Chains A and B, each alone.
Chain A
């Protein structure tokens, strides 16, 4: 067999030696017992802190801002939680209040790499080091609009937008341990987070969904979200805002499908609709 034949790894002499070395590496029994005892006494849950802020609400521009918010969020790398902490808190960080300070730093959108075709998005796989997945079902006629990405450490993400009349669907993949803007995963106390098992990559995977978003209202008015302009506003969680998100994780990759209804009479895709998209990612 060739040196690079993956089927030969089991018989590879070095592999055998390394396995033999590995089995000799064992934790000190006293340490193992002490740690087990310590874990038996450790609390099973933890508490969150949230900052209370005065809130404003105006949902009309939130949906359109949602995509922009995602993009801004991913390009502003603040000191962020590690992937392990994201596992601790689920896929959404539910605050104990419905008010939150939403902060996004100034970003010139023209400096963010973009793709204009799905083929170009697929080709990013080599840069990312993880498989780029594209939708094969459930877009309900939405057409690919554009995509933004970053393959530069510490962030590695791809965001693909699909637009239909009165609907925007965004699919993104993020190497979760690289971090993301924490506002994006925060939801208000009144948000209802739904757990659903989906079939992804041939496995049953836990996913979570939430409807709503952070909004604001006059008289302060909707913040201007022109490209390159930062945002620093107190917002209130509003579960009636027509935006629905489905989020899950496999390995170190976080995936999210979000749908926003644009326009007062537009229908928001259901959770089942998002699941169809998620399970159809290839």
Chain B
């Protein structure tokens, strides 16, 4: 009969606590991470793959993670790099330059006439790719990742006021780009 030694028993109980805690984090943040990843890649399959890598990587470091105040920043930091690795290895969307001379027309409704979440997602994702890097990233984290301004700032290593400005200007750029594409369609 095989029995656990005292240290092994303690370790086993500790392992279970760690797993239980991580399961809570997984359930709480899966959707947000998936949304952030999905807007950056081209298919549900790719998003699932990168999301899985993110949480697998997070689990691998969870035992030593002690910054409880920065769980979101920690998790999204991993997600960002898994996405970057994936894009670097596999794919880059074709990005057209923004015509800054396009007229600013009332943006509403930009997406109403399009059907299908996938189509909308592809269009928004491609448009985001055409923005300045940090503005696009701030928008993805805030609007798709669902992060607050403070959380977005923590992930990006910036002040909250800087993030708000990035998001504000990013939305303006995105609005212009979407309207331009609509005109060209």
Give me the interface of A with B, judged by CB distance under 8 Å: 3-9, 12-15, 17-19, 21-22, 24-28, 31-32, 35-36, 38-40, 42-46, 82-85, 87-90, 129-131, 175, 177, 195, 201, 203-206, 250-253
Are B66 and A195 in contact, with the CB atoms below 8 A?
yes
Residue B18 lies at the interface, judged by CB distance under 8 Å to chain A? yes
Q: Which residue among B62, B77, B108, B169 has the maximum number of chain A CB atoms within 10 Å of its CB?
A: B77
Q: Select which of A8, A39, A252 is within 8 A of B26 by beta carbon.
A: A39
List residues 4-19 of chain B with CB under 8 A from any CB of chain A: 15, 18-19
- CB contacts (< 8 Å) of B30 on chain A: these are 27, 32, 35
Which residue of chain A is the closest to B109 with respect to CB atoms?
A17
- CB contacts (< 8 Å) of A6 on chain B: these are 161, 164-165, 167-168
> Min CB distance, B77 to chain A, in Å?
6
Q: Select which of A4, A28, A45, A253 is within 8 A of B172 by beta carbon.
A: A4
Are A28 and B107 in contact, with the CB atoms below 8 A?
no
> Min CB distance, A134 to chain B, in Å?
15
CA distance A43 to B59 in the complex (A): 8
Assuming A84-B81, A88-B61, is B35 touching A35 (CB within 8 A)? no
Q: Mark B53-92, 1 if CB is under 8 A from A, else 0.
A: 0011101111111110110011001101110110000000
CA distance A68 to B81 in the complex (A): 29
- The 14 sampled A-B contact pairs (Cβ below 8 Å) are A5-B168, A12-B168, A19-B143, A25-B121, A32-B30, A35-B48, A36-B23, A39-B23, A39-B56, A44-B15, A44-B63, A88-B57, A88-B61, A251-B155
> Min CB distance, A21 to chain B, in Å?
6
Are B165 and A4 in contact, with the CB atoms below 8 A?
yes
Are B164 and A9 in contact, with the CB atoms below 8 A?
yes
> Min CB distance, A212 to chain B, in Å?
20
Which residue of chain B is the closest to A17 with respect to CB atoms?
B111
Residue B102 lies at the interface, judged by CB distance under 8 Å to chain A? no
Assuming A251-B155, A252-B80, is B117 touching A24 (CB within 8 A)? yes
Give me the interface of B with A, judged by CB distance under 8 Å: 15, 18-19, 22-23, 26-27, 30-31, 34-35, 38-39, 44, 47-48, 51-52, 55-57, 59-67, 69-70, 73-74, 77-78, 80-82, 84-85, 107-111, 117, 120-121, 124, 134, 139, 143-144, 146, 153-159, 161-162, 164-165, 167-169, 171-172, 174-175, 178
Those 8 A-B pairs whose CB atoms lie nearest each other, nearest first: A251-B157, A6-B164, A88-B61, A253-B157, A84-B78, A27-B34, A84-B81, A206-B67
> Min CB distance, A201 to chain B, in Å?
8
Are B143 and A18 in contact, with the CB atoms below 8 A?
yes
Are A131 and B146 in contact, with the CB atoms below 8 A?
no
Which residue of chain A is the closest to B162 with respect to CB atoms?
A131
- CB contacts (< 8 Å) of A25 on chain B: these are 34-35, 38-39, 117, 121, 144
- CB contacts (< 8 Å) of A89 on chain B: these are 61
- CB contacts (< 8 Å) of A42 on chain B: these are 56, 59-60
Assuming A42-B56, A88-B61, is B70 touching A131 (CB within 8 A)? no
- CB contacts (< 8 Å) of A46 on chain B: these are 60
CA distance A18 to B39 in the complex (A): 11
Q: Select which of A4, A19, A32, A205 is within 8 A of B168 by beta carbon.
A: A4
- CB contacts (< 8 Å) of B139 on chain A: these are 18
- CB contacts (< 8 Å) of B18 on chain A: these are 44
> Min CB distance, A55 to chain B, in Å?
27
Assuming A9-B164, A36-B26, A90-B64, is B34 touching A252 (CB within 8 A)? no
Assuming A27-B47, A84-B81, A87-B65, is B171 touching A12 (CB within 8 A)? yes
CA distance A84 to B55 in the complex (A): 11
Q: Which residue among B51, B67, B82, B146 has the maximum number of chain A CB atoms within 10 Å of its CB?
A: B67
